[in-house]
Amino acid sequence: MNANTVIFAVVVVLGLLTARRTTVTWHRVLPLGLLTGILLLAPAFSDNLSVLTPVFIGALLGMGWNIIGGYAGYGSFGQVAFFGIGAYAMAASIATTENFLALPPVAGLLIAAAVSGVYALLVGLPVLRLRGHYFAITTLTLAIATQQLVKNLDFLGGASGISTPIIRKQQLLFAELDRDTYFYFLGFILTAGAVLATWWLSRSKFGYGLQAIRENEDAATSMGIDTTRYKLQAFIIAAVITGVAGALQAYLRSGVSPEDDGVFQIRFNLLPLIIPLIGGTGTVWGPLIGAFAFLGIEHVLTSASGSSTFVQDWERVITGAIIVAVVLLLPRGLVQLVGSRGPRGWRMFADNIRATRV
Amino acid sequence: MLIAQYTVNGLLVGAVFALIGLGFSLVWGILNIINLAHAAFIMLGAYFSWMLVHHVGLNPILTIPIVMAILFVLGYAMQRSLLNLVMRAPLLTTFLLTFGLETLIINLGQRLWSADTRSVPVSYSGRGIVFSGNGIDIGRPGSEANVVVPFVPLVAFVIALLLVAGVWIIMERTRIGRAIRAVGSDITAAKLMGIDIGHTYALTFGLSAALAGAAGSLVAMQQGFSPATFGAYNIRAFIVVILGGLGSVPGALAGGIVFGLIDQFSQAPLPHGGLFGWSSLARIKDVIFFAVLLIVLIVRPTGLLGREGYR
């Protein structure tokens, strides 16, 4: 049991308490304050801060998917396309080698967000005309097509990708930070921004429109919702958040590669799905909880096995098993555990299954 | 004679793609599930074939019935124990469940059989029917060959067509086929006629898995493979079904052939020394498939021969 394991567990518990349905305000504000405090102070007592930064990347991936898949009900299976595009835009912006722009990282992040958004606009126009199965598998095709296209464009480095400078020390806001702390707080700020965006969305007319589309698109149209515009906006917001996650990945790893172990790897297509699924789709806190829960499990397995190859070898087998188990037993994710309605304990699992079987 | 050769190759691989698409189309049309574990079944078929050839010494063709039987049982059990539990859930749930199963099985395969490239040796590989200026010959193609019909893909072509025909007979001429079609067109009416829904779903899924297994054996005979090779087959199956149209055996066949032709013709060299430094479009094959998919879905969403549901 190391300090990071404790942080993972505490964040999941506090996240669930924050997500709880309650009418008493301080029942939510207190856990939220504690959650923020823990995350801000984590660098002080974490035993290895570089374990926590990828959790923010995972949380961003989950939050991006959650907007289009969770709120609008358009389950995208190709978010890795936007992750990769964002990562490439970032790398091309900050790389100092010939033909690249050598811009400061903030400009890189903005460019990555813009490029991912424009790509989503171009792709979304035709793809969002499709529904259900057709949408899902077309986005899956999009992911593969995007990787292949990027890999075969020579001005993006072709098969070797793009390398960017390694960061050792960097100025963030007012302080000069060492590498691990810098990336941790950068991830924290971006994640906090995404949480705020989702929170705003969940209470806005736009967010209710998306949920209406999820429940019944034809009914939403007849209620006067411009479904095409809403879906496209949601798709773009999702892509921007996902692209920013990709940009952070490229920045953190000092570059991008188009190969199957690079920014287009299957892992980054699985994380956007599994993280909201574990935490709870269509909720503000679900993706954050899911990221700390799922990557926490991976962290515990890594620490327990004493070598990192165990998780590398079995990671996707475990991921697959977790997806199957969660879909069957807890389709509404961990937040269902703190829901105010319905039965508790084993009855809850049994009821979840009984509701959908033939 | 490049065009003739590409056409021959396209037709030959097209039949195997038709077989892959048919199993996918059955489950989609009857169960309304996009089965992302289909590629995993193809992988299992390929590896079971490989094991039977390597450890038991069977002829590759004789492994096909055994592989189909194993995959049928596996598919039946999977539908009965897992997928039947979510049949009334939203589309996203079944999609995610099969996505999870796919991830689980493919990566389990990677652990069991390693990521090394395997192949199933066939004694007559490399030989074929050679059409050249000197007439028709049988053997290895030489430099004077115009068009070659290679034996191994030809055998795969024939087996795939036989299996497609077999499915057509099952669906159209047998009691089980009628029950499957009944469940697909109206589940309540089918239930009232005394059809066991859970059992029929499982039979359909088992049949689809068996077809995927057979396709896996046929793929294994023709190319080297590793577990990661098979991930792309879900999308191929989907495109075949979209091209041909959901819910008919002839549709799957037409879709498979068209897909095979696109697949082969994309390897044709580009004029004027290529585009962006690409000598042929094969390097961006998946981009082409994505474009074809979008165009067909938007211009003619029912495909070449398709209708709603499975009939």
CA torsion angle B189 B191 B197 B201 (round to 10): -10
A146: CB partners within 8 A, 6+ apart: A78, A80, A81, A84, A85, A264
A137 touches chain B (CB under 8 A): yes
> How many residues are present in chain A?
358
Higher pLDDT among residues B273 and A246, named by residue: A246
A113: confidence class by pLDDT, cuts 50, 70, 90? very high
Report strand pairing: A162-163 vs A255-256.
Answer: antiparallel
Which residue of B86, B234, B293 is in closest CB contact with A356?
B86
Asked if pLDDT for residue A24 goes beyond 90, the answer is: no
CA distance B104 to B92: 18
Q: What integer is the mean pLDDT of A125-141? A: 88
Alpha helices per DSSP H over chain B: 2-31, 38-51, 60-81, 91-113, 151-173, 175-185, 187-192, 197-222, 233-244, 249-265, 285-299
A356 touches chain B (CB under 8 A): yes
Subunit contact A148:B97, Cβ cutoff 8 A: no
Burial of A204 (0-12, 13-18, 19+ CB in 10 A): exposed
pLDDT confidence of residue A311: 66
pTM for this model (two decimals): 0.89
Subunit contact B107:A320, Cβ cutoff 8 A: yes
Higher pLDDT among residues B91 and A293, named by residue: A293
User: Closest chain A residue to B293 measured between Cα atoms?
Assistant: A138
Q: Is A56 left (phi over 0), alpha (psi -120 to 50) or beta?
A: alpha
Which residue of B197, B238, B284 is in closest CB contact with A148?
B284
Q: Which positions in chain B touch A130 (Cβ < 8 Å)?
A: 297
Q: How many Å from the N-terminal Cα to the C-terminal Cα in chain A? A: 44
Least confident of A10-14, A30-34, A284-288, B307-311: B307-311
ipTM of this predicted complex?
A: 0.84
CA distance A217 to A212: 7
- What digits encode the pLDDT tens for the residues A276-288? 999 999 999 999 9
pLDDT confidence of residue A169: 79
Asked if pLDDT for residue A356 goes beyond 90, the answer is: no
A128 touches chain B (CB under 8 A): no
DSSP helix/strand/coil, B268: coil
Nearest to B249 by CA among B262, B240, B260: B240
Scanning A179-198 for CB atoms below 8 A from B yields none
Subunit contact B276:A132, Cβ cutoff 8 A: no
CA distance B94 to B89: 7
Which residue of A142, A317, A356 is in closest CB contact with B107?
A317
pLDDT confidence of residue B300: 77
- What digits encode the pLDDT tens for the residues A151-171? 998 889 888 899 998 888 787
> In chain B, which residues have pLDDT < 50?
309-311
Sign, CA torsion A317/A319/A324/A328 = positive
Tokens of B112: 């069991």
Question: Which residues are paired to B132 by β-bridges?
Answer: B135, B145
Q: What integer is the mean pLDDT of A226-250? A: 96
pLDDT confidence of residue B306: 59
pLDDT confidence of residue B125: 82
- What digits encode the pLDDT tens for the residues B58-85? 999 999 999 999 999 999 999 999 999 9
pLDDT confidence of residue A130: 87
Subunit contact B235:A144, Cβ cutoff 8 A: yes
Q: What integer is the mean pLDDT of A209-216? A: 94
pLDDT confidence of residue A339: 74
Q: How many C-beta atoms lie closer than 10 Å to residue A329's C-beta?
A: 15
